[in-house]
């Protein structure tokens, strides 16, 4: 029988599960995290192995602020009144490597520079809640194609008619 090794964290030893057990575990995790209810997913360059866009301390301050504010505002949780949530992920490097912390929001495809706590608060209030790009800090706008829903094993990205969208560069404004 095939076995899958799952390492749950650096502190715990890997556990060995059968494919059926691992699918059951994943199904439970999908439910707990509310993955099907994600409305937007934020990636923030933070805690970098090789800090380039900003210092590690600045990135971690931004990351802690983002996590705390999403939680305080209840944006990271699904509720009966609000059946969608915002997901956030700490990225080691988003490859822009300047003017950080760099933050990108999907599926909107809006990239932000200098995402310090003050800017993150504006992004939360104006972009996440108000659905309006914070143009003072956005430097690229490239929404991902939204109509393509891949079916397991039957389609490839080449079938996606909207996968070659142009992107728009937002003029960087000086402060």
Q: What residues make contact with ligand FES under the rule CB under 6 A?
A: 45, 48, 51-53, 93-97, 100, 102
Residue number with CB closer to ligand FES (45 or 75): 45
Closest CA to 86 of 108, 116, 57, 55: 108
Nearer to ligand FES, 75 or 102 (CB): 102
Rounded least distance, CB 106 to ligand FES, Å? 16
The beta strands (E) that lie in the chain are given as 4-6, 15-17, 38-45, 85-91, 103-106, 110-112, 138-141, 168-169
Furthest CA-CA distance within the chain: 61
Choose between 109 and 145: whose C-beta lies nearer to ligand FES. Answer: 109
Query: Shortest approach of ligand FES to residue 100 CB, angstroms?
Result: 5
Residue 55 · residue 100 · CB < 8 Å: no
Q: Least Å distance between CB 94 and ligand FES?
A: 4
CB of residue 91 vs ligand FES: minimum separation in angstroms? 8
Q: Cα separation of 101 and 63, whole Å?
A: 9
């Amino acid at each position: 029988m095939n076995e899958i090794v799952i390492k749950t964290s650096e502190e715990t030893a890997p556990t060995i599960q059968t494919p059926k057990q691992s699918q059951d575990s994943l199904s439970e995790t999908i439910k707990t995290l509310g993955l099907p209810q994600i409305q937007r997913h934020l990636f923030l360059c933070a805690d970098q192995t090789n800090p380039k866009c900003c210092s590690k301390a600045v990135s971690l301050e931004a990351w802690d602020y983002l996590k705390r504010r999403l939680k305080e505002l209840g944006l990271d949780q699904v509720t009966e009144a609000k059946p969608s949530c915002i997901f956030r992920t700490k990225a080691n490097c988003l490859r822009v490597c300047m003017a950080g912390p760099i933050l990108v929001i999907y599926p909107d495809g809006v990239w932000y520079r200098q995402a310090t706590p003050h800017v993150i608060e504006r992004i939360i209030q104006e972009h996440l809640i108000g659905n309006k790009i914070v143009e003072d800090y956005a430097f690229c706008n490239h929404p991902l194609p939204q109509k393509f829903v891949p079916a397991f094993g039957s389609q490839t990205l080449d079938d996606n008619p909207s996968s070659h969208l142009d992107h728009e560069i937002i003029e960087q404004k000086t402060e």
